[in-house]
Amino acid sequence: MSVSVDTVPTPAATTAASHGRGWALTGAVGGLTGLVGLFVTVAATDADTALFADNARYVGSLAGNEAYVWAYQIVTSLAAGCLAVFAAGLRRRLAAREPAGGLLPDVAAVGLLLTAALLLVGGGVATELYFGLLHLDETDPDTLAGLAAGYNTFPWVWAGVGLTAAAVAVAGLRRRAVSRWFAVFSLLVALLVAATQLVPLQYLALVPGGLWATVAGLTFALERRRIGN
């Protein structure tokens, strides 16, 4: 009995279908959680800039914002976990298309893991800030002001995603490991993230980084769906 060549799935397609798309969806969830969650919960430290020169007054204006800080910790933990899973899946996805022993799959995964690690650091700052605001009369305002500065910075520095986007762009443009449009999109995001790291505005990396993770997750999830069908 002869079998038409068109009906025989390629190894890449078979592998893609068997691996599913849950890992890709975690990337989209992580990106959206970072973008939406961090922007919402940063309201905890929103205050009149005129207060920044007086830590006691500044910290006093934050009283009652403990719920935002608690939510911030949850947001950072969720986003970090999602990006870690996405990193593992992306590495496997690129390794299936790249030559054995190539660096690009590992570089792509490392970038996401760096971002996840910094999110967890920011979550740790949120923990201390939460209890400090809960007991304002027992906490040094200078300490709380310092924690607030870290709270507003660490989880926002998604520079690692720029490294990931660059690796994906190279893999796509050089060996078509991903679609051309996504490779070009990844290159643009990598350049934007790099630009945020060349000026003292590193926390702006969250915007292109979170957008890339969201688009990447949805792109790979839909790709899996098409292959599975």
Each residue's pLDDT, cut to its tens digit, for the chain (229 residues) gives 444 434 333 344 444 444 678 999 999 999 999 999 999 999 999 888 888 889 999 999 999 999 999 999 999 999 999 999 999 999 999 999 888 888 999 999 999 999 999 999 999 999 999 999 999 989 999 999 999 999 999 999 999 999 999 999 999 999 899 999 999 999 999 999 999 999 999 999 999 999 999 999 999 999 855 444 3
In this prediction the pTM is: 0.87
d(CA 175, CA 171): 6
Degrees to nearest 5, angle at CA 154 with 149 and 159? 140
Enclosing H/E stretch for 53? none
Distance CA 205, CA 120 (A): 16
